[in-house]
Amino acid sequence: MTKVLKNVIKRAQEWSKEEQEELAEYAREIESRRSRIYVLSEEERLAIAKAKKSKLVPEKKMRAFWKGLGVA
């Protein structure tokens, strides 16, 4: 780990929760780009859970939609 990164992480311990989350989001973006695997944030997980409970579109149609995009 570089000296600069160690110093940022050390100072970040004193930052607000929101600022720490912002730093974590940047790190997630970099990791996603490196691994080519996107990791959902907690906010995104909650939004997906909420959407799954919604009855706007039947589950069967959503599965077909995602399959058509090559996601599922």
Question: Are residues 6 and 14 in contact, defined by beta-carbon separation less than 8 angstroms?
Answer: no
Can you tell me the distance from the alpha carbon of 41 to that of 22, in angstroms, rounded to the nearest whole number?
11
If one compares 65 and 57, the residue with the highest pLDDT of the two is: 65
Average pLDDT value for residue range 3-25:
96
C-alpha 49/C-alpha 69 separation (Å) is 20
Residue 72 CA to chain centroid, in angstroms? 18
pLDDT band at 62 (very low <50, low <70, confident <90, very high): confident
pTM of full prediction above 0.85: no
Q: What gap in Å lies between CA 40 and CA 31, rounded to an integer?
A: 12
Amino acid at 2: T
